[in-house]
Amino acid sequence: MGRVGGQLAAGLSRAPNRLHVFHIDSGGVLRCAVQDGGAWTAVALPQADGLPFGTDLHPPGALMTGYQARGAQLDVFAVDRDGMLRVYVTPEGRTWQADVVPDAVGIPPGACIATGYQSGGSVLDVFVVGRSGEPLVFQGTDDGRWYSRRVPLDPPLPHGSNVSTGYLDERSRLALFGIDRAGRLQAVVETGDAGWRVEAPDARLLQEFELPPGAPLATGYPGGGSGLVLFTVDVHGRLCSFRRERFGWDAGVLPGAGLHAPSALATGYRDGGRQLLVFLVDDDGRLRQYAQEPDGSWSVGLVPGGAGLPPGAAVTTGYHADTDELEVFVLAGFSEPPIYYAVRGGGWTGPHRI
């Protein structure tokens, strides 16, 4: 499939705490905007050109943020037009630096990226899907070294496809998720010996779902707890959930059809992290919000002002550094700065422009 999902990324820098939002413009240049109170400031990044740019028919390349030095260093990753995995870093909040992850070459340009953490957060894992459909992982340690690994997965994923990460077993083990070329959800989980093992939902459970190969996924934790739920949109435009239970997986369909397939989606939290939310743009161009209620049920509504958007548009979430209130960013036009909707005083405001 063409690149769908991942065209926006957000991350929080430290010292001082500032929310950063990233996108790729029409010239293939990585753009960064930094929030300071109620204002935004553009920050020029080094070696920011040479990335896959977007057109009306083809989205720009994907981006992803991650952290090293136990959260003190914000990183941004993108696969450039030459198939190399670039990393932009702010060591200890200093000036941005750019580099190429060693041995991370020959990757599909613009490939989607996921990040996760092992060893208590001291090892950053960066995942992409190579040309063979096999997930690749590049592990960065706090001493600045990188190690390349392969994640065994059969059948393969579409090359460059979306993948997502989450944590199982009381958030103690990192897991990687993707939808293979046959439309089946696949999952691999880290083991104690630095290996990986397959732990996908039962095939009989998946028979009830038709999933777009390589489609975007998002993970969340109901009630802010340790139980992982995975979300994606099936070919019928339904938001599907896959929940890891104690003795296996369970699955369901959230209320409200009429979604775009495939569709980008993002999770976020309100009420001090206790309420899980899912955001995506439906087939009518409206920004939908799925909210999990205290009894575990789901309600669906529309974010005020969230209309006239591209169906399935790239979306990501972040939190205001000063107030910790949720903000939802949407790529309303390829290669344009995103717009965003913000929780202020308990209600939604927006759209705001950067």
Q: What is the mean pLDDT of residues 234-263?
A: 91
Residue 31 · residue 38 · CB < 8 Å: no
Q: Which of 113, 101, 105 is nearest to 131 (CA)?
A: 105
Average pLDDT, the chain: 90
Mean pLDDT of 153-162: 88
Predicted confidence at residue 4, as pLDDT, reads 64
The pLDDT, as a whole number, for residue 2 is 44
User: Could you tell me which of 64, 30, 229, 218 has the C-alpha nearest to residue 138?
Assistant: 64
Q: What percentage of the chain has pLDDT greater than the value 70?
A: 97
For residue 93, what pLDDT band results from cuts at 50, 70 and 90? low
Q: What is the pLDDT of residues 21-46, one digit of tens each?
A: 999 998 999 999 999 988 999 999 99
Contacts by 204-211, CB closer than 8 A, 24 or more apart: 205/249, 205/250, 205/251, 206/251, 208/251, 209/185, 209/234, 209/240, 209/251, 210/183, 210/234, 210/235, 210/236, 211/179, 211/183, 211/184, 211/185, 211/235, 211/240
Confidence of residue 129 (pLDDT cuts 50, 70, 90): very high
Q: What pLDDT does residue 213 have? A: 94
The phi and psi torsions of 339 (rounded to 5 degrees) equal: -100, 165
Calculate mean pLDDT across residues 270-289.
94
Q: Which domains does the chain have, with CATH numbers?
A: 9-353 (2.120.10.70)
pLDDT at position 233 over 80: yes
pLDDT band at 308 (very low <50, low <70, confident <90, very high): very high
pLDDT in tens, 164-193: 999 988 778 899 999 999 999 999 998 877
Which range among 45-54, 77-86, 263-272, 329-338 shows the weakest confidence by mean pLDDT? 329-338
pLDDT reported for residue 56:
66
Residue 316 has pLDDT above 80, yes or no: yes
Task: Map tokens 């209620």 to a residue.
Answer: 293
By percentage, how much of the chain surpasses pLDDT 90? 65
- The structure's pTM equals 0.94
- Range 234-238 average pLDDT: 96
Residue 1 is predicted with a pLDDT of 39
